[in-house]
Amino acid sequence: MNLLFLGTSAGVPTKTRNVTGIALRESKGKGWYLVDCGEGTQHQVLHTKLSFHSLKAILITHVHGDHCYGLPGILASAAMGGRKEALTIVAPAGIKAWLEATFEATQLCLPFELQFICADELPSVEFTNMLVATFGLSHGVASYAYAFTERKVDAELNVEKLVQKGVPRGPLWGQLKQGFDIEFEGEILKSHDYLFIKKPPRKVVIAGDNAQPELLGKACVEAQVLVHEATYTQEMAGKAGEVGHSYARRVAEFAESVALPNLVLTHFSPRYPLSSGATPSIEGFRAEAQSVYSGRLYLARDFLEFTLDKSGHFREVADE
């Protein structure tokens, strides 16, 4: 599984950081998911190897423009690029209404179906290779985190338990092994109840804007990586008097409290220039978070890519 940051600025784009967009790529094949789609996300995609044809879903964390104003354009470009396959959109209800108004006002008729799933109902969404769970956050508007768990896990069937339950050897066993729940004699059998899991599946949590990281306790169970906004440092948060966002220390304290192995901070206020020599320095975020967090800490920047390998090891992908 790879994480590729397409935009890491809060509110407005800067010369070096676009507004929010995060690509999560499946470990096999070219399938990918886009979390948030600020204006210009499609322009960023042009500078990567990602293709609109292999995009599985777009998930929007909340309705603020710096997280969704790129949505009409990316859909229009996918259409002009010849996409025919249905596309899943997981987003708050307001996004659906807005897209419909946009299609009508700008006479955009997509040649592919949009399968809209309402985030407000905190859905669990099953893709072929990925399970996505939704968790509520705290922001001025409804905001969500999406937890991506790989479905095809490294596991052996618990044959003894299956025989005892009377499940016949065959396709049902295969489905359970691949991580799919099955229905058997009117009962739902959960895949994970019939598997010896050798290694925990890869799991990445990507959160939207959020003033209360502690709301992510359940989402982060068995996650190797949390991506969370840190719009401010603690000092700047105090001065800004802003209540809808987190600051670096607050997020790091939460990550430490749940023993999260990897934390990526992003969505930095545009007041913080990219270069480490500038004032106020982006490195202030690192120092503040590291003072309370003993896991591996990363500060996102545009086009920074990470890989999470099978054994749960997370690292930056070197520039090619």
Site residues for a copy of itself per CB under 8 A = 11-15, 18-19, 39-40, 42-43, 46-47, 63-66, 68-70, 72-73, 76-77, 80-81, 94-95, 97-98, 101-102, 105-108, 140-141
Amino acid (one-letter) located at 124 = S
**Per-residue b/e over 202-240, b at no fewer than 16 CB within 10 Å?**
bbbbbbbbbbebebbeebbeebbbbbbbbbbbeebbeee
Distance in Å, CB of 52 to a copy of itself, minimum: 10
Closer CB to a copy of itself, 76 or 215, in the complex: 76
Is residue 66 annotated as part of the catalytic site, yes or no?
A: yes
Closer CB to a copy of itself, 108 or 258, in the complex: 108
Distance in Å, CB of 282 to a copy of itself, minimum: 18
Amino acid (one-letter) located at 24 = L
Closer CB to a copy of itself, 101 or 163, in the complex: 101
Closer CB to a copy of itself, 39 or 229, in the complex: 39
Closer CB to a copy of itself, 96 or 177, in the complex: 96
Output the CA–CA distances (angstroms, integers) from residue 133 to 17, 30, 109, 130, 181, in the order listed: 28, 21, 30, 10, 16
Q: Strand pairing partners for 156? A: 196
Taking phi over 0 as left and psi of -120 to 50 as alpha, with beta for the rest, 173 belongs to alpha
Structure tokens at 75: 């859909």
Selecting among 66, 120, 302, 309, the annotated active-site residue is: 66
**What's the rounded Cα separation, in Å, for the pair 78 and 184?**
40
Distance in Å, CB of 239 to a copy of itself, minimum: 16
Angle at 138 between CA 257 and CA 129, to 5 degrees: 75
**What's the rounded Cα separation, in Å, for the pair 131 and 146?**
10
Distance in Å, CB of 140 to a copy of itself, minimum: 8
> Is residue 50 classed as helix, strand or coil in its secondary structure?
coil
Could you give the residue numbers annotated as active site?
Answer: 66
